[in-house]
């Protein structure tokens, strides 16, 4: 009897969680004694800073990328009948709120190798709302046949205007806040990072065999609890579980006289773990 082991789990990324601790109670009390002094300094500085910020200076716009999951669009990870997808990019206002909706401009940079209307669409009438500190730019990317052979890129820049200055602000070097943004998009199905073994370690290939999109689609249909994207992101951590699932299905179909074939006509097979 085949044992499928326990169900796989998705990994939660906790890298953004920072925990600060004191070394000893003695150290903690020493720091506590300085808190009233620090608060006084901070309050004084805050007041002066607030007074400075009441002056009517330049307003600036920037792309906020810290709330975006990815600046890559891969149609191969979406349903086969999906014809387009929308990427939403937050645009933030630095400076005093606006009293009325105000137009701003975004240019398409020379680094772009995609065509507006054919590969993507975005509005040409851009207006930042009144009394708000953020807005959203929506870009629709279109799934075309040529995306299966080449990756394309859309590069955008916020242009300086009489109402918005985007040239004098010192933007975040890590790209979280930027005046430019690039979105890469394709329909190329890439192999997962650990499918092949690395540094002598066994990869997912050891359990699931040759990497193909049809095989991944089949495994996704056999385990509908996860979306195809979740399966793609986590299959390398759960090779044995999904290897057992696939091996059982392939064996059952072969015994029934209906073997599963790859798109190239060859027999779909699991990895060497099941043939040793």
In DSSP terms, 195 is beta-bridged to none
Dihedral angle sign, alpha carbons of residues 164, 170, 175, 180: positive
Q: Which of 162, 178, 160 has the alpha carbon at shortest distance from 170? A: 178
Structure-model confidence comparison of residues 180 and 138, the more confident one:
138
| pLDDT attached to residue 170 | 55
Element (H, E) at 238: none
| pLDDT attached to residue 198 | 83
Domains and CATH numbers, the chain: 60-186 (2.60.40.1740), 205-274 (no CATH)
Cα 6 from Cα 73, distance rounded (Å): 32
Structure-model confidence comparison of residues 2 and 247, the more confident one:
247
Q: Is the pLDDT of residue 199 over 60?
A: yes
Inter-CA distances, 252 with 186, 207, 238, 245, Å = 36, 18, 22, 11
Structure-model confidence comparison of residues 75 and 275, the more confident one:
75
Q: Is the pLDDT of residue 272 over 90?
A: yes
**76-80, 96-100, 129-133, 168-172: least confidently modelled range:** 168-172
Q: Is the pLDDT of residue 124 over 80?
A: yes
Cα 221 from Cα 228, distance rounded (Å): 9
Write out pLDDT tens, residues 44-75.
444 444 333 333 468 999 888 764 545 899 99
| pLDDT attached to residue 5 | 54
Pairing of strands 127-128, 102-103: antiparallel
Average pLDDT over residues 164-169: 74
Return the top range by mean pLDDT from 17-31, 135-149, 178-192. Answer: 135-149
**16-25, 59-68, 197-206, 266-275: least confidently modelled range:** 16-25
**7-11, 88-92, 174-178: least confidently modelled range:** 174-178
Average pLDDT over residues 230-250: 96
Cα 28 from Cα 31, distance rounded (Å): 5
Structure-model confidence comparison of residues 225 and 201, the more confident one:
225
Q: What is the pTM of this model?
A: 0.68
CB crowding 73-87: b at 16 or more within 10 Å, else e: bbbbbbeeeeeeeeb
Write out pLDDT tens, residues 27-44.
444 444 544 444 444 444
Q: Which of 195, 206, 212 has the alpha carbon at shortest distance from 265? A: 212
Cα 183 from Cα 139, distance rounded (Å): 10
| pLDDT attached to residue 179 | 85
């Amino acid at each position: 009897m085949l044992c499928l082991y326990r169900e796989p789990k998705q990994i939660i990324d906790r890298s953004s969680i920072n925990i600060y601790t004191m070394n000893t109670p003695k150290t903690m009390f020493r720091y506590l004694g300085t808190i009233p002094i620090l608060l006084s300094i901070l309050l004084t500085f805050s007041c002066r800073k607030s007074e400075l910020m009441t002056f009517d200076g330049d307003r600036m716009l920037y792309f906020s990328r810290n709330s975006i999951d990815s600046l890559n669009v891969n149609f191969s990870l979406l349903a086969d009948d999906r014809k387009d997808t929308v990427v939403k990019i937050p645009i933030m206002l630095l400076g005093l709120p606006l009293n009325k909706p105000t137009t701003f401009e975004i240019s398409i940079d020379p680094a772009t190798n995609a065509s507006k209307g054919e590969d993507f669409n975005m509005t040409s009438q851009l207006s930042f709302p009144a009394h708000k500190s953020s807005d959203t730019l929506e870009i629709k990317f279109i799934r075309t046949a040529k995306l299966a052979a080449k990756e394309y890129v859309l590069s955008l820049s916020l242009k300086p205007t009489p109402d918005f200055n985007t040239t004098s602000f010192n933007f975040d070097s890590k790209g979280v806040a930027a005046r430019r943004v690039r979105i890469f998009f394709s329909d190329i199905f890439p192999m997962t990072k650990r499918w092949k073994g690395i540094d002598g370690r066994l990869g997912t290939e050891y359990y699931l065999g040759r990497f193909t999109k049809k095989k991944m689609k089949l495994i996704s249909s056999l385990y509908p609890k996860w979306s195809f994207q979740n399966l793609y992101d986590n299959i390398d951590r759960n090779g044995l579980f999904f290897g057992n699932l696939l091996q059982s299905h392939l064996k059952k179909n072969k015994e029934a006289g209906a073997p599963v074939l790859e798109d190239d006509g060859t027999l779909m097979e699991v990895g060497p773990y099941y043939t040793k």
